[in-house]
Amino acid sequence: MHAHSIPLTEGTGHYLKLIEGISIVRRHFELLQWLQNDIQHYLPHEILLVGWGNFPEGVIHHDILSKLPGVRSYAVGTDSLPFLLGKFYDCWISGGKKPIRLDFCRFEYLLGNTSLPGSFTSALRRMRSVLIHGMCDERGQYECLYVMLSTQPIPEEPASTAIKVLMPFIDSALRQVTHLPQQKKPSPKPLRTAHEEAFGLSEREIQIMDWVAMGKTNSEIGSILNISGFTVKNHMQRIFQKLNVFNRAQAVSKINGVIFNG
């Protein structure tokens, strides 16, 4: 099937009716309603993750659309979402910026070992399939990534064709939605740059501090990075010395001070 052909067997009239609903979207709830209707036939999903900004530098804003309890844009457990979106972005780039369908089990290790029932992380653990596609804004010079997650396998077709055809309309609808207060904050200086310039942390120490800032324990960080919790503890001691602090809270506070005031 041609990339620009209509994936809807019902014909052009049904297709036009499907996208007509976008014109009235102004709120997250309205966009969610649109995504939960006929779109589900072609793009079945329980969670839509959206990320935009400068992915290579790690400056990423995000949004979440889902009817699942606890799955909201800035709910507990979403602090690590920019990092997860960065991993999805890497997969999309590796796939030539074409729609890519993967098993979510490839990314579960990023969630750590613990999660509260009904939380965002708990909901993610139930996902089994992920469909990734994005758009490049040549005028604004940034990219927007769309990640659809489902508890059931997402079929290769019509999903891959549908997401290519419908992506411009989904993107347009999201641009009409009023930003949440957290999304209006100025973009912080990338964590990686702040770590390197101010404190001389190593690549591994940077990775560890990224996860510390997200509230992960030594054991969880070890599981994520495939190293022992004891090794993480040794890294933390060296980080404390470089930062001239005595505990994790002081380390995070000091780094955040450089990021937002530097």
Helix (H) or strand (E) holding 147: strand 142-150
Mean pLDDT of the chain: 81
- Is the predicted pLDDT of residue 118 greater than 80, yes or no? no
Average pLDDT over residues 129-144: 85
- Regarding whether 22 and 49 lie in a shared domain, the answer is yes
CB 99 within 8 A of CB 132: yes
- Is the predicted pLDDT of residue 256 greater than 80, yes or no? no
| Entry pTM | 0.70
- Regarding whether 152 and 31 lie in a shared domain, the answer is yes
- Regarding whether 136 and 240 lie in a shared domain, the answer is no
SS (H, E, C) 183-197: HHCCCCCCHHHHHHH
Q: Which domain holds residue 175?
A: 12-183
- Regarding whether 158 and 111 lie in a shared domain, the answer is yes
Residues 213-240 pLDDT 10s: 877 888 888 877 778 888 999 999 999 9
Which residues lie below 8 Å from residue 184, measured CB to CB, with a gap of 6+?
none
pLDDT category at 260 given cuts 50, 70, 90 is very low
- Regarding whether 78 and 119 lie in a shared domain, the answer is yes
- Is the predicted pLDDT of residue 5 greater than 60, yes or no? no
- Is the predicted pLDDT of residue 30 greater than 80, yes or no? yes
Q: Is residue 209 part of a domain?
A: yes
- Is the predicted pLDDT of residue 22 greater than 70, yes or no? yes
Q: Is residue 86 part of a domain?
A: yes
2-38 b/e (C-beta count within 10 Å ≥ 16 → b): eeeebbbeeeeeebeebbebbeebeebebbbebbeeb
Q: Which residue has the higher pLDDT, 77 or 82?
A: 82
Instruction: Provide the 3-class DSSP secondary structure of residue 103.
Output: strand
Helix (H) or strand (E) holding 63: strand 59-66
CB atoms within 10 A of CB 195: 24
pLDDT at res. 2: 41
- Is the predicted pLDDT of residue 119 greater than 70, yes or no? yes
Q: Is residue 92 part of a domain?
A: yes
**Which CATH number characterizes residue 20's domain?**
3.30.450.80
Residue 90, CB-side half-sphere exposure with 13 Å CA sphere: 10
pLDDT category at 259 given cuts 50, 70, 90 is very low
Residues 196-220 pLDDT 10s: 556 788 878 888 888 888 778 888 8
Residue 131, CB-side half-sphere exposure with 13 Å CA sphere: 25
- Regarding whether 212 and 168 lie in a shared domain, the answer is no
Four-CA torsion 197, 200, 202, 206, nearest 10 degrees: -50
Number of compact structural domains in the chain: 2
- Is the predicted pLDDT of residue 185 greater than 60, yes or no? no
Residues 85-116 pLDDT 10s: 988 999 999 999 999 999 998 888 777 665 66
- pLDDT above 70 as % of the chain: 82
- Regarding whether 103 and 226 lie in a shared domain, the answer is no
- Is the predicted pLDDT of residue 117 greater than 90, yes or no? no
Average pLDDT over residues 176-194: 61
Residues 45-59 pLDDT 10s: 999 999 998 887 777
pLDDT category at 6 given cuts 50, 70, 90 is very low
pLDDT category at 80 given cuts 50, 70, 90 is confident
Q: Distance of alpha carbon 237 from its chain centroid, rounded?
A: 30
pLDDT at res. 132: 96
Strand partners, 60: 53
